[in-house]
Structure 1
Amino acid sequence: MFESKLFTDFEIKCNDEESLYVHRVILAAKSPVFMAMMTNDMEEAAENCVTLHDVDSVTMKELLRYIYCETVENIDAMAPKLIYEAEKYHLDNLKMMCKNSLISNLSIDNVLDNLIIASRLSCVKDLFEKCVDVILTKFQFSSPSELCEKLPPDVCYKYCHELMQRLNTIYI
């Protein structure tokens, strides 16, 4: 059913202007957010269409693949974007799959990006802790404040105290 447009009854328009055609009953059965969208007096339910301004069609197709088949193609490449959609649509198992992929592929090259993801999703504290471990073992800083200069302000604001505490134990 995932690959076929046969009997589809709902349209999802993505921010790259591609439309995806789906089955309302399947989306509603898998996601409480889609269930609410389909059953409440919302414009989307009446028009059988929703426009999503914050997701591209590639990411949405993988979310739909998970909803229909409980699999994701190339989870390692998709996890950084897909984890936000899993959070938004309350797909806890997908969120766990994404988090595990991010943790298992954590490296010096992607640690700051993953720290940002961890800071924006409160459900992934263990991802944050793994990011901090990588930062502490791989990055070379002359002072703890040097790290905070490299991070976006919202990440520093949310985690600066904990980061500084852990870094200070090394530099004292």
Structure 2
Amino acid sequence: MRRHRSNQVIRSESDTESDTDAETMKCISCKEEYGSRDAGTCKECYEEASETEEELKREIEDLKAKVAFLRFWSPLDHAHRGSTTTPGPFFSDVVLIASDDGSPGFPPVLVPANKAVLVNRSPVFKAMLENEMEESRSGTIKVSDVSYDALRAFVNYLYTAEACLDEQMACDLLVLAEKYQVKHLKGYCEKFLVSKLNWDNSLMSYAFAHQHNAKLVLDAALCLITDNMDKLTKREEYIELVEKDPRLVVEIYEAYLSKQVNTAAHKDCSMKS
């Protein structure tokens, strides 16, 4: 009888230990203990993993866009789409010339390219080179209001979907991307400019974005400006903007008033609830 009771005590203690182990488990990521009701990972690791997953999804989408941008036109595309038209003509080489390049007495430096690439990347180049326009006949495309460095970077991007950017180069390339309807490059430059946005350059960025239809930069700059309206009138750029383009100043104040109304309405709803 004593042995039997002893065994019972031992079993109950082991059962208690197993129950305790079941209540607390270790996270498979950080090895910290967490409640048994959670599954697999602790709350902190789960949230971190969710954020990482979202970042990876964004990177994948960017890579897909890059691959789609770099994809060359192929005669098989016509067959796949059921088109009865013959494949496009064979495109020879072409050179681009920057109008702002070249010192007095020296010829401008040419930027060589391939017509097939230009046609594939830009609908504007496509219209130029597939029709009997001067650029198609001469094999020379003159690009106005651009430096040689910017034009070379632009052509390089058409081949590689990569560019070494600073704020000035991003602006120059965005202008070219808008002009030649290279959407992938325009988005690339906009993301860079948004990452460099601050209070000091917000007004100039807003005016630039408005001029070149860069909505991503426009919205980000406007949000920053309306968050700091008390400092706005003290800026030299503000005075210049009032003189050069008062319409933009009106738009800024309209956006600010709309934001104030929405904020007040949100507060009223919160108080009522």
Q: TM-score, normalised by structure 2?
A: 0.52
Query: 1:85-124 counterparts in 2 under 5 A?
Result: 85-122=176-213, 124=214
Shift of 1:129: 2.2
1:109–1:143 distance in 2 versus 1, CA, 3 Å:
closer
- State the match for 1:156 in structure 2: 246
Alpha-carbon distance in 2 for matches of 1:73, 1:90: 20
Indicate the SS of the match to 2:227: helix
Q: CA offsets per residue over residues 7-27 of structure 1, 9 Å max, x none?
A: x72111112122111111111
Give 5+ residue unaligned stretches, structure 1.
Answer: 1-7
Q: Given residue 252 of structure 2, which amino acid in structure 1 is its aligned partner?
A: L
Q: Is this contact kept in 2: 1:37–1:44, CA < 8 A? A: yes
Distance 1:148 1:112, change over 3 A: closer
Corresponding position of 2:218: 128
- Residue 20 of structure 1: SS of its match in structure 2? strand
The change in CA–CA distance for 1:143 and 1:10 in structure 2 (over 3 A counts) is: closer
Structure-2 separation of matches of 1:118 and 1:65: 24
CA contact (8 A) 1:141 1:147 kept: no
State the Cα deviation string for residues 135-160 of structure 1 (Å, max 9, x = none): 2334644759x975231655432x33
Q: Which residue of the partner structure matches residue 3 of structure 1?
A: none
Identity of aligned residues (%): 24
Residues 71, 24 of structure 1: alpha-carbon distance in 2 compared, 3 angstrom cutoff? same
Q: Deviations over 1:97-147 (max 9, x none)?
A: 11111111101232222112211122x233222112222334644759x97
2:94 counterpart of 1:10: yes
Q: Which residue of 2 aligns with 1:56?
A: 147
Tell me how far 1:32 sits from its aligned partner. Answer: 1.0
Output the aligned Cα RMSD. Answer: 2.9
Contact 2:125 2:180 in 1 (8 A): yes
Cα distance change on mapping 1:154 and 1:143 into 2, 3 Å? closer
Name the aligned partner's letter for residue 162 of structure 1: E
Larger RCO: 1 or 2 (CA < 8 Å, sep 6+): 1
Structure number with larger C-alpha Rg: 2
In the aligned structure 2, how far is the partner of 1:46 from the partner of 1:166? 49
Pairwise CA distance, 1:95? 0.6
Show the 5 A alignment for 1:11-26. Answer: 11-15=95-99, 16=101, 17-26=108-117
Give the structure-1-normalised TM-score: 0.80
1:76 is displaced (CA, Å) by: 4.8
Q: Which amino acid aligns with 1:119?
A: H
Number of the residue aligned with 1:28:
119
Q: For residues 112 and 30 of structure 1, do their structure 2 counterparts lie closer, same or farther at Cα, with a shift above 3 Å needed?
A: same
Which residue of 1 is the match for residue 131 of structure 2? 40
**Offset at residue 166 of structure 1 (A):** 3.5
CA contact (8 A) 1:75 1:98 kept: no
Q: Which runs of 5+ in 2 are unaligned?
A: 1-91, 102-107, 262-273
